[in-house]
Amino acid sequence: MPNVIRVSVSEAARLFGVEPKTIRRAIKAETLKYIIVQGRYKINFNSLLDWSQGKTATKNKLADKGIGQYVDKWKIKNKLYSPSPELVPPPKKPKKINPES
């Protein structure tokens, strides 16, 4: 079974730039996959991504108020830490060991 990332209602609201009541409405409408752990919703992150891309308004909030507002800051300009394929040397071939020596 693959690792599943689950977030709470408040975490989902912060990440996607919406109000917690918007997340709860999506849960009630059964558009999000979730489980209940100790009386609290834990929402499947993949279903959140799918849900957020379904409506233009939600997609815009993700970009403007949610985690999307930080994406430009993630761009790494130093090529030492963000190598392009041309800058990465090819892996070295292992040396053959001669069993007779």
Q: Count Cβ atoms within 10 A of the Cβ of residue 34 and give its class: 0-12 exposed, 13-18 middle, 19 or more buried.
A: buried
What is the maximum span of the chain, computed from C-alpha positions, in angstroms? 73
Spans of all domains in the chain: 6-74
pLDDT tens-digit map of 53-87: 887 887 778 777 877 776 666 665 665 655 566 66
Phi, psi angle pair for 58, to nearest 5°: -70, -40
Task: Give tens-digit pLDDT for 10-41.
Answer: 999 998 889 999 999 999 999 999 999 999 99
**Residue 32 and residue 50: Cα distance in Å, rounded?**
9
